[in-house]
Structure 1
Amino acid sequence: MVTVEVLKGRRGFEGYRAYGHADYADEGMDIVCAGVSALTQSTAMGLAEILEISVDCSIEDGFLSLRLPAGLKQEQRRDAQLLMETMMLGLRRMEEQYSEYVRVVERTVE
């Protein structure tokens, strides 16, 4: 199962972690893993390259971790929240359709 932990604080989304493998199909054919990867990695790229936010991001096989930096300007934080809310919409839909393979969990952080 692939798990996505979304980290939320007082100001909204603070980051996320995705780990594991869906095991829906063989490697290279697993549409569930591919979907989660596309959503989480596109969000990371959007934050870094479009919004130009210096995120703390680590990507390895079966693992992605991202944290927003402290001290974002109000406009940057608003735009980052929109991107992450869009990612969550896609992840929740995937979780509904493939509940045996995807789990989305919200964690409260300080």
Structure 2
Amino acid sequence: MIRVTIEREADGCIRAFTMEGHAHFAKSGEDIVCAGASAVSFGTINAIEELTGVRPNVSLGQDGGYLRCELPKLEEAATAEKVQLLLKAMVVSLKTIERDYGKFIRVTWK
């Protein structure tokens, strides 16, 4: 199972997320749950970098079963708002995958 943990600040803003594990929905190369979760998470990181200029701290595991993204402290309110919107969109997409494939992916808040 893919476990996604979304970490929030006291004010509710998303500060980091971690994805761990493998969906095991289908064999490697045919796993649509893994492909969907990966596309959403990496697409979000790429969008944050490209559209806001913010460079998150990203860590990857060797076997492809681990991704961690931590956001730097953002002083400019407009940039922080854009980053949060992108992260919230990611959560909506991941929750949609979870709704349809809940045996293979779980999204939790911390």
What TM-score results when the alignment is normalised by the length of structure 2? 0.92
Aligned pair count reads 107
Amino acid at match of 1:24: F
Alignment correspondent of 1:9: 9
Alignment correspondent of 1:63: 66
Once residues 72 and 6 of structure 1 are traced to their aligned partners in structure 2, the CA distance between those partners, rounded to angstroms, is: 21
Alignment of 1:1-110 (within 5 A): 1-11=1-11, 12-60=13-61, 61-107=64-110
Q: State the 4+ residue runs in structure 1 displaced beyond 3 angstroms.
A: none
Kindly state the Cα deviation for residue 6 of structure 1 after the two structures are TM-superposed: 0.5
Once residues 46 and 5 of structure 1 are traced to their aligned partners in structure 2, the CA distance between those partners, rounded to angstroms, is: 20
* Most deviating of 77-86 and 9-18: 9-18
Q: Runs of 5+ in structure 1 lacking a partner?
A: none
Identity %: 29
Once residues 92 and 105 of structure 1 are traced to their aligned partners in structure 2, the CA distance between those partners, rounded to angstroms, is: 10
Kindly state the Cα deviation for residue 10 of structure 1 after the two structures are TM-superposed: 2.5
Once residues 74 and 38 of structure 2 are traced to their aligned partners in structure 1, the CA distance between those partners, rounded to angstroms, is: 28
SS at match of 1:76: helix
- Higher share in strand: 1
Q: Runs of 5+ in structure 2 lacking a partner?
A: none
Amino acid at match of 1:23: H
Once residues 74 and 89 of structure 1 are traced to their aligned partners in structure 2, the CA distance between those partners, rounded to angstroms, is: 22
Kindly state the Cα deviation for residue 51 of structure 1 after the two structures are TM-superposed: 1.0
Kindly state the Cα deviation for residue 50 of structure 1 after the two structures are TM-superposed: 1.9
